């Protein structure tokens, strides 16, 4: 496992840069905190975006196959118009009566199973997961949290402490337990459900033995940080049942798979045939405007609300609600998930054709337009596999196509284009990937 938490990044002195970018980096370094990182070996410098494209100061276009924040594409005109129109009238918070807030809340919960019928708004996915943990801990009376082995759930102190993806620099909570996923562990599909359930039950037993108890199973239903380990559908069901039997809540982190990303379903947990107690939303909800939510069952929401006030100044503000409402309208009206399903299959088919011609692709996994592409041959070392993945990502960046890496070893290409992706975009991506594979093989 790599100890570099962001291996695909710029390192001063390793790459010669044009004076314009070098001077801007120097200015950044003189004023911004040292925790920031710039992505890619040669940082990208953008001044505008439109649809699937980002543009640098010289007008060069880059195809974005990485960014799930602008889920409907960069600077979507209808979303931006809704945002601007509301900002031009009033930006108010949830302490005042405002019908658009209720209208959107009703529309949002209608996209969930009937058991889930309450929503509390936040600003980010991190805030959503933080609030969901508070609700789970209060209503269960327990403290323990179970997460997957390379999970990332946000940046607040509470959720960073249950995000093993953040590495040793962030102290992992003594009340959290890590469970392995069947895919990375090499467990065949036929045994995946039993394997995952046994992992969860062992974690519950340990938490109970230490007097901690289990408050929640917190999972990203596409397991994106673990390397996009999504199959077989339903393998988490036994673990979900075990947590409920132990008095804990089930929290589906939908920041990555939600809002139609999988194509087959609006929400990632639906692929697994389960209904969580709480679902957490973030990034794509506002197509770039910061808005998130916790959507959940009435019982735990009301028990928590009876003793705790959650009123976040900007969460659920009228501008964010208008923006999110426009996003949901477009998703439903334009049948975006249907496009996601079709383009996801088209993209996977193209990747499989490349894999048949190239030795650098080891495995391909996807749900809709979220793909994990494992790099390197099976007998290659983890270091060589990671180097190949990073070389490919940076060769594609130089060719004007943006992706990144994921997984514990960062040897999986993370391919996650906006949901408006079309066939010609897929073809451009596939051509760039094949050129990158040929280039790094020669190098």
Provide the residue-wise pLDDT of the chain in tens; the chain has 443 residues.
445 667 887 788 777 888 898 888 889 888 888 888 888 989 999 999 999 999 999 999 999 999 889 999 999 999 999 999 999 999 999 989 899 999 999 999 999 999 999 999 999 999 999 999 999 999 999 999 999 999 999 999 999 999 999 988 889 999 999 999 999 999 999 999 999 999 999 999 999 999 999 999 999 999 999 999 999 999 999 999 999 999 999 999 999 999 999 999 999 999 999 999 999 999 999 999 999 999 999 999 999 999 988 888 899 999 999 999 999 999 999 999 999 999 999 999 999 999 999 889 999 999 999 999 999 987 899 999 999 999 999 999 999 999 999 999 999 999 999 999 999 999 999 999 999 999 997 65
Which residues partner with 119 through β-bridges?
295
| Cα-Cα-Cα-Cα dihedral sign, residues 152, 326, 336, 297 | positive
User: What is the phi/psi pair of residue 100, to 5°?
Assistant: -65, -35
Enter the DSSP assignment of 217.
Answer: E
User: What is the phi/psi pair of residue 374, to 5°?
Assistant: -75, 135
The SS3 assignment for 412 reads strand
Does 77-333 match 44-75+336-442 at the fold level? no
Strand pairing class (292-296; 118-122): antiparallel
> How many CA atoms lie within 13 Å of 136's alpha carbon, on the beta-carbon side?
35
What does the block give as tokens for 107? 């529309």
**Entry pTM:** 0.94
The domain segmentation of the chain, as residue ranges, is 44-75+336-442, 77-333
Order of strands across the sheet that contains 118-122: 118-122, 292-296, 278-281, 249-253, 214-220, 144-148, 176-179
How is domain 77-333 classified at the architecture level of CATH?
3-Layer(aba) Sandwich (3.40)
How is domain 44-75+336-442 classified at the architecture level of CATH?
Alpha-Beta Complex (3.90)
């Amino acid at each position: 496992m790599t100890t570099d938490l962001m291996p695909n990044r710029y390192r001063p002195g390793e790459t010669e840069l044009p004076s314009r970018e070098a001077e801007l980096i120097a200015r950044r370094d003189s004023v911004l905190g040292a925790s920031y990182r710039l992505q890619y070996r040669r940082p990208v410098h953008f001044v505008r975006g439109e649809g699937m494209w980002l543009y640098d100061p010289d007008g060069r276009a880059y195809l974005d196959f990485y960014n799930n924040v602008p889920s409907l594409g960069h600077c979507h005109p209808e979303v931006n118009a809704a945002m601007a129109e509301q900002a031009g009238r009033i930006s108010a918070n949830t302490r005042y009566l405002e019908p658009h807030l209720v209208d959107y809340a009703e529309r949002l919960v209608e996209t969930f199973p009937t058991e889930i019928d309450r929503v509390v708004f936040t600003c980010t996915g991190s805030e959503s997961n933080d609030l969901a943990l508070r609700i789970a801990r209060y209503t269960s009376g327990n403290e323990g949290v179970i997460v997957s082995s390379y999970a990332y759930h946000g940046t607040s102190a509470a959720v960073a402490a249950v995000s093993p993806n953040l590495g040793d620099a962030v102290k992992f909570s003594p009340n959290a337990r890590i469970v392995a996923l069947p895919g990375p562990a090499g467990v065949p599909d036929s045994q995946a459900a039993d394997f995952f359930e046994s992992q969860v039950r062992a974690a519950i037993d340990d938490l109970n033995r230490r007097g901690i108890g289990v408050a929640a199973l917190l999972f990203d239903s596409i397991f994106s940080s673990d390397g996009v380990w999504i199959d077989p559908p339903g393998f988490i069901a036994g673990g979900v049942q075990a947590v409920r039997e132990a008095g804990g809540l089930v929290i589906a982190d939908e920041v990555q798979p939600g809002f139609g990303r999988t194509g087959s379903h609006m929400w990632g947990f639906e692929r697994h045939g389960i209904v969580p107690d709480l679902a957490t939303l973030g990034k794509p909800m506002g197509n770039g405007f910061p808005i998130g939510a916790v959507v959940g069952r009435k019982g735990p929401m009301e028990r928590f609300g009876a003793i705790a006030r959650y009123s976040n100044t900007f969460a659920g503000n009228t501008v964010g609600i208008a923006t999110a409402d426009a996003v949901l309208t477009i998703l439903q009206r334009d049948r975006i998930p249907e496009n996601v399903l079709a383009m996801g299959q088209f993209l996977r088919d193209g990747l499989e054709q490349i894999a048949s011609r190239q030795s650098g692709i080891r495995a391909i996994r996807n749900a809709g337009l979220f793909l994990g592409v494992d790099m390197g041959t099976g007998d290659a070392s983890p270091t060589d596999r990671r180097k190949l993945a990073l070389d490919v990502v940076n060769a594609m960046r130089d060719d004007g196509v943006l992706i990144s890496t994921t997984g514990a070893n960062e040897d999986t290409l993370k391919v996650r284009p906006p949901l408006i992706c079309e066939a010609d975009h897929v073809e451009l991506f596939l051509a760039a990937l094949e050129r990158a594979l040929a280039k790094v093989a020669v190098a």
